[in-house]
Amino acid sequence: MFYFKNIEFLYLLFLIIPLIYLISKRKEFVLGQFSAEVFKKIEFKNNRFSKKTRAIILIFSFVCLIFALARPVMQNGEIKIKSSFVDMLVAVDISKSMMADDIYPNRFEFEKNKLFSFLDELKNIRVALVGFSSQTFLISPLTEDFNSLKFLVKNLRFDYLNLKGTNIKSVLEVTDDLLKDEKNKILLIFTDGGNEDNFENEIAYAKTHNITVYVYNIGTLNGGIIKDDNENSVLVKLNENIKKLALDTNGAYLQQSLNQDDIKQLSEIINNNYKAEKEKEDVIKDEKELFIYPLVLAIILFFMGIFSLPRRVS
């Protein structure tokens, strides 16, 4: 099928009619201003094209330019691309304790870098991303565009995030809502574990709503220092109690490491344990842009008309 993407430019073709009229009346206008003897002396001669031929060439050049601007396209049909995928939710801890510097440069920046590595390892998986502290905030809905996810996470800064507390229960509730159509809901949490001693309520909720929890715990048992609201130094340590949440929901628990083997191991577990149950069909139009042909022709005709300008009789 043939069509124009910018069809509105074709209205410029109506300018050709008055243009032809003006060109045809040009000689009559000039003769009306000068006598025949004077006109003969100032008239230009051309050994290449007559004035009429040159006018036709320039008009056709204008027509070709209009067609080029209208962007003619030849559509050869549609290409359908099917892809299958698994949906999961990733939660990043944005509570104040993540500013502890027991891991260089701090837990929060370390968390972001590990998330980037994890996204690079995923295959056929869509990810929704949330940030959480005492509440949970949606950063991105389900997407396969991991470059956009990385951009959003990269620009998360504690300059405008000053949140206290770690509410894992709210993360589970958001997971259940965002992945409500999934039979088995997958949740990966990047966190330092918060300060809870008991996760029984969270475990019960996850089991009831078929949520499998994977935990990547960030921090050290020796802990790191942060400042409270009164600028007093507070020691915050890694909380390993959250390990039970991961294991009791048939997930996996990993503690932070400086190498990338831990992230590869985690991504392999998720890639291998879940098979795509959803299919997405993308339709791509098979099109060929044809504007280059009238554009080249317009340029050629234009220079033919310009360089064939007449010379004055001596």
Identify whether 76 is part of a domain.
Answer: no
Are both 169 and 270 inside the same structural domain?
yes
Are both 23 and 141 inside the same structural domain?
no
* Residue 10 DSSP one-character state: G
* pLDDT score of 37: 60
Are both 274 and 297 inside the same structural domain?
no
* Separation CA 239–CA 241 (nearest Å): 6
Looking up residue 219, the CATH number of its domain turns out to be 3.40.50.410
Residue 46, SS3? coil
* pLDDT score of 45: 55
* pLDDT score of 8: 94
Q: Are strands 44-45 and 311-312 parallel, antiparallel or unpaired?
A: antiparallel
* Separation CA 121–CA 51 (nearest Å): 69
Tell me how crowded residue 28 is: count the other CB atoms within 10 A of its CB: 8
Identify whether 50 is part of a domain.
Answer: yes
> Which residues have a Cβ under 8 Å from the Cβ of 236 and sit 6 or more positions away?
97, 100, 192, 219, 223, 224, 225, 226
Q: What pLDDT tens digit does each residue of the chain (314 aa) get?
A: 888 999 999 999 998 888 777 766 665 555 555 555 655 555 555 556 677 788 888 889 999 999 999 999 998 877 776 667 899 999 999 998 999 999 999 999 999 999 999 999 998 899 999 999 989 999 999 999 999 999 999 988 766 555 778 899 999 999 999 999 888 899 999 999 988 889 999 999 999 999 999 999 999 999 998 888 788 888 999 999 999 999 999 999 999 998 888 999 999 999 888 877 666 666 777 889 999 999 999 999 988 877 765 555 44
Name 73's bridge partners. 3, 289
* pLDDT score of 125: 92
> Which residues have a Cβ under 8 Å from the Cβ of 98 and sit 6 or more positions away?
106, 107, 108, 111, 192, 218
Compute, in degrees rounded to 10, the torsion defined by CA atoms 38, 44, 49, 55: -70
Identify whether 137 is part of a domain.
Answer: yes
Are both 152 and 234 inside the same structural domain?
yes
Are both 92 and 205 inside the same structural domain?
yes
Q: How big is the chain, counted in residues?
A: 314
* pLDDT score of 40: 57
Q: Which domain holds residue 12?
A: 2-71+291-312
* Separation CA 219–CA 111 (nearest Å): 10
Residue 86, SS3? strand
* pLDDT score of 282: 63
Are both 196 and 91 inside the same structural domain?
yes
Are both 55 and 91 inside the same structural domain?
no
Rg, Å, the chain Cα set: 35
* pLDDT score of 106: 93
Identify whether 286 is part of a domain.
Answer: no
* pLDDT score of 33: 57
Are both 57 and 130 inside the same structural domain?
no
Are both 245 and 188 inside the same structural domain?
yes
Residue 41 C-alpha from the chain's centroid: 67
Structural domain count of the chain: 2
Are both 269 and 138 inside the same structural domain?
yes
* Separation CA 65–CA 70 (nearest Å): 9
Identify whether 12 is part of a domain.
Answer: yes
Residue 94, SS3? coil
Are both 152 and 249 inside the same structural domain?
yes
Angle at the Cα of 292 from the Cα atoms of 290 and 298, rounded to 5 degrees? 120
Q: Are strands 2-4 and 278-289 parallel, antiparallel or unpaired?
A: unpaired
Are both 253 and 306 inside the same structural domain?
no
* pLDDT score of 310: 54
